[in-house]
């Protein structure tokens, strides 16, 4: 019916053929992230996800976003004309909401669309033969990005390479350079009483070095205050060679780190080199360039969407049920099935007393073996011998399957090309869903579900002050 590679390939093709060159990175010095929503529709009125493999289905990209940037708190505006969060996942979800809004207009106009009439007057529900799959070219920032880096014990100085599909052993692999021969000999000599540490060069390439740090010789780290022991444990076990068989097993030497910061007032990372650097399971805000942001990490937002749906509060005025994702697929990159499940599903599984129609989704999590051509790892692989410093692309592209102005390109939260004089004008605005705070609050079932989720699982969620939401 569909596979992770098929969905990834469809999204990559759409990126190459349907998105303009404007807003895409310069592959000689820039990289970006890609996310998309794919509609999968079967010919029969039945659940698509559990259908036999030979069922005929159509697959279509209905929303897409690129981007890596987030504005700091000091750049936020109360007029609603700037995008706070331009990470690809959030841009794609925003584009998806535009698509849903257009489909609701088609439904109200009695035209062909993805919705059918609900049992409540004036409300609609998704047709049962349609599902939506979320694709991301990279592991979401935040909690899903925290997982062990493993290396064979007899190759301590060699790079961790490649990626693996969901369901395989959770060894974490990414593209790194080899150490020089001298460092390799040192690593072999010192491996018995020293610790592996990840270092990064100016061009962003990571590698392993040996460093003397006896403080990190443990499998898990406890916070001194012991407030939340579970959150501060690293789930991976140290592994050693099997003396009987002579087989070499991966040895955990560090964790992949996220730039997302723990929310103020909650537990914080221990920042101990090695396995104890991060605490897992915590809410995080995206990093800014010197200025803290108010945007929650993509891991946290995916966890929220998995309970509340992707439609947001405003569209719930017209929907009987939330619009959920049936699967989340990540492209070839450093990835952990365990970390994804922990971040997106398990943190909210215990939620109870949700309003009718809302539920804790058991979304399907998969990884593709296909790599995004403009991902950081892909660009690094091509530019191995280049001395040019790789940087994230400053632009973000938003595309939606709608007939009117489907495309927007932004930079620093404004439509690309906006001058300082033009900030605040209608031309500088994105096609966002702009309305009063009161309209969002009036979606009573959605707000009740959000209150329950926030009180039982996502405590500490950073919300924007009301003055940033009272725009027209």
* 195/209 Cα distance (integer angstroms): 8
| Residue found by looking up tokens 């400053």 in the block | 394
**φ/ψ bin of 454: left (φ > 0), alpha (ψ from -120 to 50), beta (otherwise):** alpha
C-alpha to C-alpha distance for 145 and 276, rounded to whole angstroms: 15
Q: Cα(431)–Cα(410) distance, rounded to whole angstroms? A: 11
Say how far apart CA 208 and CA 196 lie, in whole Å: 6
Compute the distance between CA of residue 298 and CA of residue 139 in angstroms, rounded to an integer.
9
- Please report which helix (H) or strand (E) contains residue 236, including its range: none
Q: Which of 47, 60, 89, 369 is catalytic?
A: 89
Count other C-beta atoms under 10 Å from residue 23's C-beta.
Answer: 22
H and E: helices and strands count for the chain: 9, 20
Burial label, 148 (beta-carbon count in 10 A; 0-12, 13-18, 19+): buried
Q: How many CA atoms lie within 13 A of 245 on its CB side?
A: 6
Rounded to 5 degrees, what angle do the CA atoms 284, 285, 286 make? Answer: 125
The answer to whether residue 89 is catalytic is yes
Question: Beta strands of 118-162 (E only): which ranges?
Answer: 124-126, 130-136, 148-152
Query: With left for phi above 0 and alpha for psi between -120 and 50, is residue 88 left, alpha or beta?
Result: alpha
Q: Which residue from 159, 47, 114, 93 is spatially nearest to 296, judged by alpha carbons?
A: 93
Question: Sign of the CA dihedral 328, 167, 367, 347?
Answer: positive
- What token pair was written down for 441? 């609050």
C-alpha–C-alpha distance, residues 362 and 276, integer Å? 29
DSSP 8-state code for residue 403? S
- Give the catalytic positions in this structure: 89
């Amino acid at each position: 019916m569909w596979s992770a590679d098929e969905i990834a390939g469809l999204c990559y093709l759409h990126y190459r053929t349907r998105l303009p060159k404007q807003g895409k990175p310069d592959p000689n010095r820039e990289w970006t992230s890609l996310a998309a929503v794919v509609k999968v529709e079967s010919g029969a009125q039945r659940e698509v996800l559990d259908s036999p493999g030979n069922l005929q289905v159509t697959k279509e990209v209905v929303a897409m976003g690129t981007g890596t940037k987030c504005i700091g708190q000091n750049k936020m505006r109360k007029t609603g004309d700037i995008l706070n969060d331009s990470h690809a996942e959030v841009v794609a979800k925003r584009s998806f909401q535009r698509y849903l809004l257009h489909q609701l207009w088609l439904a109200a106009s009695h035209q062909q669309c993805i919705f059918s009439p609900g049992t409540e007057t004036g409300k609609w529900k998704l047709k049962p033969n349609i599902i939506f799959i979320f694709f991301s070219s990279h592991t979401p920032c935040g909690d899903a990005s925290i997982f062990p880096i493993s290396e064979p014990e007899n190759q301590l100085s060699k790079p961790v390479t490649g990626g693996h599909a969901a369901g395989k052993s959770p060894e974490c692999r990414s593209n790194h350079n080899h150490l020089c021969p001298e460092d390799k000999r040192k690593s072999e000599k010192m491996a018995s009483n020293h610790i592996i540490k990840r270092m990064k060069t100016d061009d962003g390439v990571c590698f392993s070095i040996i460093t003397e740090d006896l403080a990190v010789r443990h499998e898990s780290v406890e916070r001194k205050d012991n407030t939340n022991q579970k959150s501060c444990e690293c789930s991976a076990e140290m592994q050693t060679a099997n003396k009987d068989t002579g087989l070499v097993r991966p040895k955990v030497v560090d964790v992949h780190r996220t730039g997302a910061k723990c929310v103020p007032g909650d537990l914080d990372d221990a920042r101990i080199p090695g396995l104890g650097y991060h605490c897992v399971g915590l809410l995080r805000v995206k990093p800014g360039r010197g200025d803290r942001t108010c945007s929650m990490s993509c891991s946290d937002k995916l966890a929220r969407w998995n309970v509340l749906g992707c439609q947001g509060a405003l569209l719930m005025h017209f929907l009987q049920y939330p619009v959920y994702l049936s699967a989340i697929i990540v492209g070839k990159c450093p990835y952990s099935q365990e970390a994804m499940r922990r971040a997106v599903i398990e943190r909210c599984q215990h939620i109870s007393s949700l309003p009718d129609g809302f539920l804790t989704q058991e979304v399907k999590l998969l990884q593709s073996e296909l790599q995004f051509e403009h991902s950081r790892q892909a660009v690094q692989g091509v530019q191995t011998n280049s001395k040019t410093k790789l940087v994230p692309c400053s632009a973000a592209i938003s595309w939606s399957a709608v007939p009117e102005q489907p495309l927007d390109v932004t930079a620093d939260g404004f439509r690309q090309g906006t001058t300082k004089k033009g900030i605040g004008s209608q031309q500088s605005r994105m096609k966002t869903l702009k309305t009063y705070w009161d309209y969002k609050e009036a979606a009573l079932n959605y707000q009740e579900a959000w209150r329950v989720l926030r009180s039982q699982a996502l405590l500490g969620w950073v919300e924007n002050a009301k003055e940033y939401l009272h725009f027209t």
